[in-house]
Amino acid sequence: MITTDLRGLAEQAGRDLEGAHPADVLRWAAGTFESDLVLASSMGDEVLVHLAAATVPGIDVIFLDTGYHFAETLGTRDYYADFTSISLRTVLPLHTVAEQDAVHGARLHDRDPNLCCALRKVEPLERGLAPYTAWISGMRREDAPTRTDITVVGWDARRGKVKLNPLAAWTQADVDSYVAEHHVVLNPLRQAGYASIGCAPCTRAVAPGEDPRAGRWSGTSKTECGLHT
């Protein structure tokens, strides 16, 4: 299917599937793209991984191992790889943390977090998505001001791919309800107050009532890692 057709398909599906249950969005995607569909997960979007495993058994999932993940996040990845029906592939940056330190100096994430994210998240994602026509993310509109206009199905112009955000319209209450109803295994950091989970050096727990994304790159103006911008 040529790019213009894919873009038109995505835009039409975004209109048609607005308001649909996330499972129905996933079923449409699986029926439309078959093996050309992949889910990208940081294992901070456990509900989406659980839902995808239940709805599209065997679905490909890519996990970007930045080298800076919490042990709890890696454990969550291993649980979903071992005990659900997903087909998980871990994608590594081109260089280890030690190799990056040798070139850019230690703790690049403190001095130039945008470059660190570009090297350890964005570039690996480009490689991970390359074989696929459509990809799924766990973004929700209420996550951050930068995400309020995301569509359930849309066009990722930067990559020339269809992008799906099945949970776009879900609130935290919707997420919590799904977790309770389906006994979803969560990243243990949730119990320690981590509302949005990224790399360990750039993530902290949030206080009650604090914005869920306040724990990401705290004390800086950075709000996105670059995967979705």
| Chain CA centroid to CA 81, Å | 16
Closest CA to 176 of 164, 190, 188: 190
Q: Which value, in Å, is the radius of gyration of the alpha carbons in the chain? A: 17
Residue in 116, 117, 202, 225 annotated catalytic: 225
Q: What are phi and psi of 35, to 5 degrees?
A: -75, -5
Annotation marks residue 117 as catalytic: no
Q: Which position has the token pair 């996105």? A: 224
Inter-residue contact 50 to 84 (CB < 8 Å):
yes
212-223 in b/e form (b: 16+ CB < 10 A) is: ebebbbeeeeee
Closest CA to 140 of 154, 151, 129: 151
Active site residues per annotation: 225
